[in-house]
Amino acid sequence: QVQLVESGGGLVQPGESLRVSCAASGDISIIYSRGWYRQAPGKQRELVASIARGGVTGRRDYAESVKGRFTISMDGTKTTVYLQMNSLKPEDTAVYFCYADIRTRGSDSTIRVWGQGTQVTVFS
């Protein structure tokens, strides 16, 4: 079984920073891409940031709304992915979900697993 556990969400004021983390554990053979989505109340889940295959040097993509403010990074083992969020705005308020595209041991298939979500609230 594979598990993604997020941490680091919270309540901040506009302009402040926050870092959320997502640690993967379990019967993982290969970790491919990692990333973060978010979902605000009444809105669809949107991709915030991702790291493509290639490990810590893999290509990084960001939503236009967070470019220049958010940075995605990963530790050397790819088991933990971080999202550093600077200059936060009220519109960044959402539940943030991490994901990992992985292959489990003994399997030839790649699957996407999700974390449980962590709340980020930016208020004046």
Task: Supply the pLDDT for residue 124.
Answer: 82
CA distance linking residue 83 with residue 97, whole number of Å:
11
Task: Supply the pLDDT for residue 5.
Answer: 95
CA distance linking residue 54 with residue 20, whole number of Å:
22
Task: Supply the pLDDT for residue 59.
Answer: 87
Confidence band for 118, pLDDT divided at 50, 70 and 90: very high
Task: Supply the pLDDT for residue 32.
Answer: 87
Task: Supply the pLDDT for residue 54.
Answer: 58
Report CA torsion sign: 62, 36, 99, 51. Answer: positive
Confidence band for 75, pLDDT divided at 50, 70 and 90: confident
Task: Supply the pLDDT for residue 92.
Answer: 97
Pick 62 or 75 by higher pLDDT: 62
30 pLDDT higher than 90: no
55 pLDDT higher than 80: no
